[in-house]
């Protein structure tokens, strides 16, 4: 294994660690007396989440549960694309690099998705779009069959990942809270294809 491959594998391991995110519980609404014990149990279950969130200085990105799940799946798909880029680079498989980078490059659909997911967190959309714009250079470098440029572009793209994950965390909220924080209604059709 070359030193470049070891560095890349270490970078991927660090990125995987960054992909962990937290959710925030919301207190249960007022309930009838007969449900009081269930509410106390639920409240106690949320306490560790509240304590964890208090320790996390990152800014919350409010998302409804399905949006948060979708975003996590997309982050996993982004990591898989980076993995395929690194593997393609190790094999000098320029077509594989181009196909993998196309999964994370900028597009009108990605822009729309990033804007939707980041609607409640100032600055999130810009960082998300920056990631995708940086990823464009990976495909360009692959088309030029320039291994060093692919590696530099991948590193630059991963820097966008670490910046975003160091700045933001998921906050799972209900539909009403999301609408209040974003000023818009949730469109389920928007949750397919990006952040």
Domain with residue 93: its CATH number is 1.20.120
The pLDDT of residue 113: 94
Helices (H), 57-105: 65-91, 94-102
Is residue 121, in this structure, part of any structural domain at all? yes
Task: List the single range of 7-16, 166-175, 185-194 with lowest mean pLDDT.
Answer: 7-16
Is residue 71, in this structure, part of any structural domain at all? yes
Q: Would you tell me how many other CB atoms lie within 10 Å of the CB of residue 100?
A: 25
* pLDDT-above-70 percentage for the chain: 73
Overall number of domains in the chain: 1
Residue 11 pLDDT grade (very low, low, confident, very high; cuts 50, 70, 90): very low
* pLDDT-above-90 percentage for the chain: 66
Structure tokens of 140? Answer: 């360009």
Tens-digit pLDDT profile for residues 22-52: 333 444 344 454 554 555 555 677 888 889 8
Is residue 178, in this structure, part of any structural domain at all? yes
The residue among 48 and 11 whose pLDDT is bigger is 48
User: Is the predicted pLDDT of residue 77 greater than 50, yes or no?
Assistant: yes
Between CA 70 and CA 189, with CA 137 as vertex, the angle to 5 degrees is 25
Is residue 24, in this structure, part of any structural domain at all? no
Please give the Cα distance from 174 to 62 (Å, whole number).
9
Cβ burial of 36 (10 Å; 0-12, 13-18, 19+) is: exposed
pTM above 0.85, yes or no: no
The pLDDT of residue 24: 37
With a CB cutoff of 8 Å and minimum separation 6, the contacts of 26 are 46, 173, 174, 177
The pLDDT of residue 181: 94
Residue 108 pLDDT grade (very low, low, confident, very high; cuts 50, 70, 90): very high
User: Is the predicted pLDDT of residue 96 greater than 70, yes or no?
Assistant: yes
Is residue 184, in this structure, part of any structural domain at all? yes
The residue among 41 and 118 whose pLDDT is bigger is 118
Is residue 54, in this structure, part of any structural domain at all? no
Give Cα 17 distance to the centre of its chain: 12
User: Is the predicted pLDDT of residue 176 greater than 90, yes or no?
Assistant: yes
Is residue 49, in this structure, part of any structural domain at all? no
The pLDDT of residue 25: 40
The pLDDT of residue 2: 57
The pLDDT of residue 50: 86
End-to-end CA distance of the chain: 34
Domain containing 88 equals 3-19+59-191
Is residue 147, in this structure, part of any structural domain at all? yes
């Amino acid at each position: 294994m070359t030193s470049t491959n070891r560095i890349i594998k270490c970078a991927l391991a660090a990125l995987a660690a960054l992909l962990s995110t937290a959710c925030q519980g919301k207190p249960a609404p007022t309930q009838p007396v007969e449900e009081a014990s269930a509410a106390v149990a639920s409240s106690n279950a949320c306490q560790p989440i509240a304590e964890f969130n208090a320790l996390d200085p990152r800014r919350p990105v409010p998302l409804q549960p399905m949006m948060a799940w979708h975003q996590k799946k997309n982050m996993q798909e982004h990591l898989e694309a980076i993995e395929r880029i690194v593997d393609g680079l190790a094999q000098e498989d320029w077509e594989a690099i181009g196909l993998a980078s196309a999964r994370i490059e900028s597009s009108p659909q990605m822009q729309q998705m990033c804007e939707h997911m980041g609607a409640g967190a100032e600055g999130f959309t810009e960082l998300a779009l920056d990631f995708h714009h940086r990823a464009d250079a990976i495909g360009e470098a692959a088309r030029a069959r320039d291994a060093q440029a692919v590696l530099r572009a991948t590193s630059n793209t991963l820097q966008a990942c670490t910046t975003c994950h160091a700045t933001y965390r998921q906050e799972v909220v209900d539909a009403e809270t999301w609408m209040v924080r974003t000023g818009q209604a949730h469109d389920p059709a928007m949750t397919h294809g990006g952040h």
